[in-house]
Amino acid sequence: QIVHLADYRPTDFVLERVDLTFELDPTNTKIEARLIFHRREGVDASLPLVLDGDELKLSGLLFDQKEMSASQYDATPESLTIRDLPAESPFELTITTYINPEANTQLMGLYRTNGVYCTQCEAEGFRRITYFPDRPDVLAPYTITIIGDKAANPVMLSNGNFLGGAGYDEGRSFAAWFDPHPKPAYLFALVAGDLGVIEDTFETMSGREVALKIYVEHGKEPRAAYAMDALKRSMKWDEEHFGREYDLNIFQIVAVSDFNMGAMENKGLNVFNDKYVLADPETATDQDYANIERIIAHEYFHNWTGNRITCRDWFQLCLKEGLTVYRDQEFSSDMRSRPVKRIADVRHLKSDQFPEDGGPLAHPPRPDSYREINNFYTMTIYEKGAEITGMIATILGRDNFRKGMDLYFERHDGQAVTVEDYVKCFEDASGRDLSQFFRWYVQAGTPLVSASGAYDAAAGTFTLSLEQTTPATPGQPNKEPLHIPLSFALILDNGSIAEPTSVTGGEITGDVLHLTERSQSFTFSGVSSRPVVSLNRSFSAPVNLVFEQSLEDLVHIARHDSDLFSRWQALTDLAMPNLAQAARDARDGKDVTCDPAFVAALLECAGDASLEPAFRAQALNLPSEADIARALGGNNDPDAIHAGRKAVHEAIAKAGEEVFVRLYNEMKVEGAYSPKAGDAGKRSLRGVALSYLMYAENSPQRAAEAFAAADNMTDLAQSLTLLAHRFPDASEATAALASFLTRFDGNPLVIDKWFSIQATIPGVDALERVKALMENPRFNPGNPNRVRSLVGTFAFGNPTGFNRVDGKGYDFLADQILAIDPKNPQLAARILTSMRSWRSLEPVRAEQARLALSKIAKAAGLSTDVSDIVGRMLKD
């Protein structure tokens, strides 16, 4: 049941061509698969062909169009084994299966959502459609014929180029598609139904015209305009920055309302969770727009990093995901503010990937075994995977990185490859040895880098001593030292950057210091005065840095670093000890005090008009409760962390009331709404200012006014959140929640915000509130977006409400997991990961969490998805 990387071997049979015919029926769809195979050279002629299945029933099997005798094959729901196949010559199998899309609640394979047929085949969904060698290293061109009821399915789509379509028989029509680019089955897609469409075109760099189509529910066409714009910008950007041109004459996107993940990069036919397509100012926040831009780009970029070059096996998942996240991050950085994007990405990495890497679910970016591949679509594969590619770019420098990417595209186009193949391209293109660097892929855990500096005035030298360790993770007690690229600057008193005459102790390239030993000291000569070290600038390496810097030094960085990321990092480093101490004080019932130097530095930044508003908003957004918990390291009391953080906010609000009033007035955006980064930044700074003002004024008044005055969803959702979270019992909050509901009733994506805002109201009452909302007729337990916005948001995003000391939050989650699991195991497993940090809770809560997890573990009939997660979480 456990799959091991070491067991990899190629298939015995080579798949040459795939020809599929679907006869659509909501409950009984017929699939005829014609597959041409030949035995791989050198494979023993007695070996059978074994195809994968999942809940399938074989209804017909032909060999070169002739019946096979029953003794020649065995069919089970999980596999089809065929014997007596030719030693050399190609042969054709025709396999017939019937499936029930309507009953497919797992949302894997072919299913129906709101009357639309759609597929999700990654990772192993294709085997729920027909018997097939369902693995990413089996690539073939596909011809697809879709036959369906004419009236119900005016739109019938698949991968590749459209061949043609017409009437088929009484009441039915057909459409045929051909995808010439060999691809694995996980990239197959089919969509059919009655959908609206917006159309556009894109002229590629070589002058070919590509038809662009985005399909949405009728009436929602105008809300797809931003996605279309983002698509065209993505296509252009990939040409300019990676030399990648689109390769079919049509590119299609379909938005569906039931989807387990964000979106899927099926060749030429991306399928999206509608949440990441639909937007207009009235219903989407700035964050929604940014997410749409990012995910449209991500799936489009997969066309080269994932589709043209795919993964040899699922252990290599980060080959396509990490690289594609890196690419979408670069794209967003170019579209928006690079430092602000970096800050947001690092916040996300630290709040979600670091806890994963430091807990029971830790795994290397390239794992060496798995029980359930669906559980490996993780923050580590995606985000740490992206950081690894980012580090390669840092180590190689811009030009060599580009050369390596070019070589990768040239060398491996059309192949299914490994992470080793990928890294080799960078080695070959640059001449640099990346063998030590490769450990990042196979070693789990967040490295800890400790740093200290010593200045010798007489000699004019500065010595930076560094030490690296990586904590043990499940299955990996001992860790080797990594090659850690640390971008740095030695900042002098006047804010300029020192230019040492020479360095000893290790390699430095440009502003990057290469830490390769367990401990290593770099000595810089020709340093005229004591410098302040800005280390790991732009977060060049995903590590925990411990650097005992004085308050003055941190303030100096916060003021002077030319790297905005590091200025933000310095402010965070100033904030964290205050937040940690505040949590301890709150726990011990002491008064919370705040370091005035920290408050002054933060307010100075807030009021600095030379800094972009989005940056200032990031600085004022203090580390989250989860971040503080991580910094505290263990024995955590979420109530104390919450109370301490609130007290710190109040202290800052009081000291900075004037600044916040000014910002609140100055940052008002005039004129028509635009989702562009500049305006969005002003709205976010204004929102933070409002939040502080509410601490200073201790009244719902101002937020109620903001809610009434809001003319876009960003302002509306922001003010509603503040009202509901700070003054849940005030009539202003109740009224605003009610008016929001009335106004957006019938728009499920907006009602999801209404669910989430209420699910995250802090405090012990949250659980009862969530339970009541689940009874609301607008809640649909079968729709993943609804479940995530209510149950998921509660478990992931409400530390005080979820971590009730009586354990009722965990108990509720256990019941929910057990209720969701039989219908949608992927969704259940994903939400369950919200408990991954249970061991760092104080003992009473930790014991309650353990009991809830044990209850899940003991339940009968668990899916592999949930059983894998709960098993790993409970393992000591």
Q: Which residues are catalytic?
A: 299
Instruction: Choose among ligand ARG, Zn ion, none what residue 261 binds, the Cβ cut-off being 5 to 8 Å by kind.
Output: ligand ARG
Measure Cα distances from 102 to 89, 109, 126, 463, 607 in Å: 40, 11, 16, 67, 57
**311/733 with CB nearer Zn ion:** 311
Task: Report, in Å, the least distance between residue 755 CB and ligand ARG.
Answer: 23
**For residue 295, what are its two tokens?**
């995910």
Give just the sign of the alpha carbon dihedral 357, 358, 363, 364. positive
**51/405 with CB nearer Zn ion:** 405
**380/572 with CB nearer Zn ion:** 380
List all residues 6 or more positions away from 19 whose beta carbon is below 8 Å from its beta carbon: 33, 34, 35, 142, 143, 145
Instruction: Choose among Zn ion, ligand ARG, none what residue 123 binds, the Cβ cut-off being 5 to 8 Å by kind.
Output: ligand ARG
Instruction: Choose among Zn ion, ligand ARG, none what residue 866 binds, the Cβ cut-off being 5 to 8 Å by kind.
Output: none
Measure Cα distances from 572 to 562, 579, 599, 627, 683 in Å: 17, 10, 11, 11, 22
**265/553 with CB nearer ligand ARG:** 265
**For residue 555, what are its two tokens?**
């303030």
**273/618 with CB nearer ligand ARG:** 273
Task: Report, in Å, the least distance between residue 224 CB and ligand ARG.
Answer: 19
> Closest residue to ligand ARG, Cβ-based?
377
Q: Which of 435, 349, 432 is nearest to 395 (CA)?
A: 432
Q: Can you spell out the DSSP letters for 127-165?
A: GGTS-B--STT--EEEEEEEEEETTT-SEEEESSEEEEE
Measure Cα distances from 465 to 82, 143, 450, 487 in Å: 63, 61, 8, 15
Helical pair 385-396 and 419-430, crossing angle rounded to 10 deg: 10
Task: Report, in Å, the least distance between residue 127 CB and ligand ARG.
Answer: 13
Stretch that binds Zn ion, among 182-190, 321-329, 437-445, 805-813 (CB under 5 A): 321-329
Task: Report, in Å, the least distance between residue 817 CB and ligand ARG.
Answer: 17
How many Å apart are CA 828 and CA 813, to the nearest integer? 10
Please report, as ranges, the residues that interact with ligand ARG according to CB under 6 A: 122-123, 261, 263-265, 298-299, 321, 374, 377
84 near 22, Cβ under 8 Å? no
Number of residues that bind Zn ion (CB under 5 A): 2
Please count the other Cβ atoms lying within 10 Å of the Cβ belonging to residue 856. 25
**301/744 with CB nearer Zn ion:** 301
Stretch that binds Zn ion, among 98-106, 320-328, 709-717, 845-853 (CB under 5 A): 320-328
Task: Report, in Å, the least distance between residue 141 CB and Zn ion.
Answer: 23
Task: Report, in Å, the least distance between residue 381 CB and Zn ion.
Answer: 9
Task: Report, in Å, the least distance between residue 122 CB and ligand ARG.
Answer: 4
Measure Cα distances from 359 to 188, 307, 362, 805 in Å: 35, 32, 6, 21
Q: Is the peptide bond before 123 cis (omega within 30 degrees of 0)?
A: yes
Place of tokens 């491996």: 412
Three-state SS string over 327-371 comes to HHHHHHHHHCCHHHHHHHHHHHHHHHHHHHHCCCCCCCCCCCEEC
According to DSSP, the β-strands at 209-216 and 250-256 are parallel
Residue 40 carries which DSSP code? P
Name the β-bridge partners of 79.
52
How many Å apart are CA 766 and CA 730, to the nearest integer? 16
**168/377 with CB nearer ligand ARG:** 377
**386/693 with CB nearer ligand ARG:** 386
Stretch that binds Zn ion, among 58-66, 323-331, 392-400, 658-666 (CB under 5 A): 323-331
Task: Report, in Å, the least distance between residue 696 CB and ligand ARG.
Answer: 42
Instruction: Choose among Zn ion, ligand ARG, none what residue 520 binds, the Cβ cut-off being 5 to 8 Å by kind.
Output: none
Q: Which of 235, 226, 377, 392 is nearest to 311 (CA)?
A: 377
How many Å apart are CA 472 and CA 445, to the nearest integer? 7
How many Å apart are CA 380 and CA 71, to the nearest integer? 47
**For residue 374, what are its two tokens?**
């669906």
**278/311 with CB nearer Zn ion:** 311
How many Å apart are CA 561 and CA 492, to the nearest integer? 10
**324/793 with CB nearer Zn ion:** 324
How many Å apart are CA 293 and CA 296, to the nearest integer? 5
User: Using CB under 5 A as the criterion, which residues of the chain lie in contact with Zn ion when the complex forms?
Assistant: 321, 324
